[in-house]
Amino acid sequence: MPASAQFGKYAANAASAVVEDISERIRQLACQIRELQQQLQQVLSSLSEQDLNQLRQRIQAHYQEIFRLEKEKARSRDRNDSYLSVVLSVATSNT
């Protein structure tokens, strides 16, 4: 296997690991959102307006982080696809 193909395989594995890490963080945030929403429902009547706003802000911050991570994951996938096509074209031109 040419060195460029081996490097391409390594790069693809690294990019895949990044996407998996991002996906795991998104899953964690989604679980935290569900927990916060459950807490909010359980104590809705006993919380002050300030406490309600803090919970809402935490939930909103998690949603914003998920959105940012989804964009990062998409960019990582796009970079990986572009990089792999270049590596593959170089590898095939060397054979």
Tens digit of each residue's pLDDT (9 = 90 or more) over 22-57 = 888 899 999 999 998 888 888 877 878 898 899 889
Contacts of 62 (CB under 8 A, 6+ apart): 29, 32, 33, 36
Q: What is the mean pLDDT of residues 62-76?
A: 88
The per-residue pLDDT for 74 is 83
Domains and CATH numbers, the chain: 3-93 (1.10.287)
Q: In 10 A of CB 14, how many CB atoms?
A: 12
CA-to-CA dists, residue 62 to 6, 22, 28, 73, 85, angstroms: 38, 14, 10, 16, 34
The per-residue pLDDT for 86 is 63
Looking at the predicted structure, is the pLDDT value of residue 64 above 90?
Answer: yes
